[in-house]
Amino acid sequence: MTELIPLAACILIALGIGSNDTSNALGICIGCGIISYRRAIVVFGLLVLVGILVQGAKVMDTVGRNLIEVNLTILTISLSVSAVLIILSNWRRLPLSTHQVIIGSLVGAGVAYEAPVNWLSLAEIILSWVISPLVALCCGNLFYRLMEKTLSKLPLFRIERILRVLLLMSGFLIAYNTGANELATILGPVIYSGMTGKLEASVAGALFVFLGAWLLSHRVIETVGKGITALDPFSGFAAQFGAGACVLFFTFLGMPISTTYCVIGAISGVGMVKGMGTVRVSLLKKILMNWILAPSVGFFLCYGIARLVV
């Protein structure tokens, strides 16, 4: 009966991924008016399923086997706390890294129970968290500058038609990455603990991500799609493609990085080209604070709860 608790927490987190990460994939497309909200949700759900089935194994292995040796109690505490934090962050309309919350919570509960923690693997993950938004920022900045020197020379009607297609393709890439990286992070510990098989977990996880996107994602889409800097299809593609390329690279390495912060980094890189006056620095400061607090709160909450029940 107690095994149902971490499974229920996984469902809540998958719903949270859908509500939070649809904005990463297609929030810019929706904000630019290229695709309708409902159609975007359906496409997002399908590509999440493809991503987790085709390329989710490496990230599952990193989080579920290499990072920490989990048991039922560690899973129950860490996933339950993660679910609550993710839902609260979405309610506040602030993007949150599911990876950071889950990994911080797993390590916190694991340390309290003196479970073996692979500190080298944890250091590599944290380093990836730091580097990936900066890589995405540089990519977004670079792509925007290249497009200004090439694509902007074409007739306006051709630019718009090309960009609409390219922007959708880059959004589809991030939706795929959400399955291959984001969803794989929450499923890894559950699968490697032997609670469920990989195929059924992947399909069920993708289904609940879709439901979260359908029911809740409109709140965060308002922040990422329109809130950081004004985006048009031209600048939107540079940001989206920069973030998608960055996440795909780290997914090949098996690193559970935040799609959320890569998108934010790439959008900020585009905003820097357009002029820092176009970037809402106050919002970025709040997001940065969330970036620091998320894994820290997850760690200390899980550590404290685990010590109480030891």
Structural domain boundaries in the chain: 4-307
How far apart CA 46 and CA 128 sit, in angstroms, is 27
Span 26-78, pLDDT tens digits: 776 776 678 888 888 899 999 999 999 999 999 999 998 889 888 888 899 99
C-alpha dist (Å) from residue 104 to 9, 35, 107, 178, 212: 16, 35, 5, 19, 23
Side-chain-side CA neighbours of 91 within 13 Å: the count stands at 6
- State yes or no: pLDDT of 23 exceeds 80: no
C-beta of residue 239 within 8 angstroms of C-beta of residue 28? yes
Least confident of 3-12, 158-167, 261-270, 283-292: 283-292
C-beta of residue 163 within 8 angstroms of C-beta of residue 14? no
Please state, rounded to an integer, the average pLDDT across all residues of the chain: 83
Radius of gyration of the chain, Cα coordinates, nearest whole angstrom: 19
What percent of the chain stands above pLDDT 90? 30
Predicted TM-score of the model (pTM): 0.84
How far apart CA 217 and CA 21 sit, in angstroms, is 8
